[in-house]
Amino acid sequence: MEELVDSILDYVRADYTDYAIMINGEWGSGKTHFWNTKVKNKIESLELNGKKFTTIYMSLYGISNLEDISKKIFIETTQLMDKNLKKYMESSDKSSIPEYAKTGLDMANFFGVTQNGDKIDYENFFSTDDKVLCFDDLERANVDVIDILGYINNFVEHDHIKTIIICNEKELSAKLKSSNLEMKTFIATYILEKGGDLFKREDGKPMVEKINEEIEYVFDKANDYERIKEKLIGETFEYAPKFNYIINGLLLRYENNPELVRFLREHTGLITNTFIKSGTRNLRILKHALNDFKKIFEVVNKFYPNTNLRVLQTMLIFTIAISFEIKAGKITKDKFVNIESNEEYKSLLVSSRVLSDNRQFYIKEFDSNYYFNFKSDYRFFKFIEIYVRTRIFDMKAFKTDMEIIINTIDTEKLPGYKRLLTEEYWKFSDEQFPVIIEEVLENVRSGALKLIEIVKLFAYFSYFSRKKLINYDIDNLKSDFLSGMDLSAERSEYVDDLDEQLSRIGFDVGDEMDEIVSHFHELNRILEDKMYREEADSIFKCIPMKMEQFYDKFVKQCMEKPVLNHYDAYQMFQRVTCASNEDIVIIKEMLVDRARKHSDILKPELEFMVNLKRVLNEYCKGKEVGIKLVMLQEFSNDIDEIIQLYGGEDSLHERTIEETMAILDTL
Q: In this predicted model, what pLDDT tens digit does every residue of 452-479 receive, in sequence order?
A: 889 989 988 988 988 899 999 888 999 9
Q: Report how far apart, in Å, the C-alpha atoms of 498 and of each of 7, 318, 495, 527, 557 are.
A: 63, 28, 6, 12, 20
Q: Are strands 131-136 and 162-167 parallel, antiparallel or unpaired?
A: parallel
Angle (CA) 521-526-530 rounded to 5° is 145
User: What is the pLDDT at residue 222?
Assistant: 52
Backbone φ and ψ of 506, nearest 5°: -75, 105
User: What is the pLDDT at residue 662?
Assistant: 47
* Residues near 203 by beta carbon (within 8 Å), at least 6 away in sequence: 197, 210
User: What is the pLDDT at residue 666?
Assistant: 46
User: What is the pLDDT at residue 73?
Assistant: 75
* Residues near 353 by beta carbon (within 8 Å), at least 6 away in sequence: 364, 424
Omega before 544 within 30 of 0, i.e. cis: yes
Q: Report how far apart, in Å, the C-alpha atoms of 142 and of each of 72, 165, 175, 198, 216 are.
A: 15, 16, 11, 33, 21
Q: Which amino acid is at 451?
A: L
The Cα–Cα gap between 589 and 554 comes to 13
> Is the model's pTM score more than 0.85?
no
User: What is the pLDDT at residue 17?
Assistant: 84
Residue 616: name the closest of 598, 591, 596 by CA. 591
The Cα–Cα gap between 580 and 650 comes to 33
User: What is the pLDDT at residue 121?
Assistant: 47
List of the chain residues with pLDDT < 50: 99-104, 107, 110-111, 113-117, 119-123, 125-126, 509, 656-657, 659-664, 666-667
Which conformational region is residue 112 in: left (phi greater than 0), alpha (psi within -120 to 50 degrees), or beta? left
Q: Report how far apart, in Å, the C-alpha atoms of 414 and of each of 306, 402, 422, 439 are.
A: 21, 16, 10, 12
